[in-house]
Amino acid sequence: MKKILLLVVAALMAGHVFAQEIQNPEAKNAGNAAYKAKNYTEAYTQWDAYLKANNYNDAACCYNAATAANKAKMYNEALAYYDKAIAAKYKLASAYSAKAKVYKAQGDDAKYIAEIEAAMKAVPNNPTLEKMYATHYLLAGQAAQKANKLADAEAAYEKVVGMTNRGYKSQGLTVLAQMYFNNGIKVQEAATKVMNTDKEKFEAGKAEALAAYNKALDYCMQAISASNTNTDATELKKQIDTAIANLNK
């Protein structure tokens, strides 16, 4: 009886091992060949078949399937497989950044930046993710600034200032300083035009320009403090100091 029981256990174990064997390896090989030939749609199709046959238990192939789908502009399929790679923690930073870029390709900036923010929490201090985050908000700030939406521009730049990376923090502070310095120049030029015709308006404009210059100077000093190698901030400070001195003459 004991011998029969051992035979049954052995048979069950053999069945378990068999169940773990790779299924449909031909499809994986076909996917590899198709990808090498830059036939991304076929690569995705083959890898998808292989992964389904193996219950998606191949994180590397999930990532590759996502990449192939992305290259074939099969964005929904790419997102699904990047999610599987992320869940398996496979090439986590790359999977997150690639997934974010899919949202960017779809024109969904809100999901793009949300994905980057999630990625930065999962993979702190990753240079690629930090660059994507900073670039997004710097460009958003520039667009708002060009549209003369200074509050929106400041909010975008402050996102960069809030980063732990001191280089990007300093860059965010510098663009804020430049924005307020430019605004001060604009206000001062408008005030100068009425200097001899409307003394009250001139003095009000002069005070507004001075306030903008002082705010620019404060941001500039913070930028230099965050990174003493920021030559842009150092040069800008000289210009601001000169503008304040001239205004106070």
For the stretch 4-26, pLDDT in tens is 444 444 444 444 434 458 898 89
Write down the CATH superfamily of domain 27-90: Tetratricopeptide repeat domain (1.25.40.10)
* pTM for this predicted structure: 0.86
Give pLDDT, residue 53.
95
Tokens 């975008």 -> residue? 156
CB contact set of 192 (below 8 Å; sequence gap of 6+): 202, 205
The per-residue pLDDT for range 36-65, each reduced to its tens digit, is 999 999 999 999 999 999 999 999 999 999
Chain centre distance of CA 112: 7
**Residue 136 pLDDT level (bands cut at 50, 70, 90):** very high
Q: What are 202's two structure tokens?
A: 């001139």
Alpha-carbon Rg of the chain, whole angstroms? 29
- Residues 156-205: tens digit of each pLDDT: 999 999 999 999 999 999 999 999 999 999 999 999 999 999 999 999 99
Q: How far is CA 81 from CA 63, 152, 249, in A?
A: 6, 35, 65
pLDDT on residue 7 = 42
Is the pLDDT reported for residue 77 higher than 80?
A: yes
pLDDT of residue 24: 86
The residue ranges of every structural domain in the chain are: 27-90, 180-249
Q: How does DSSP classify residue 230?
A: -
Tokens of 229: 């190698």
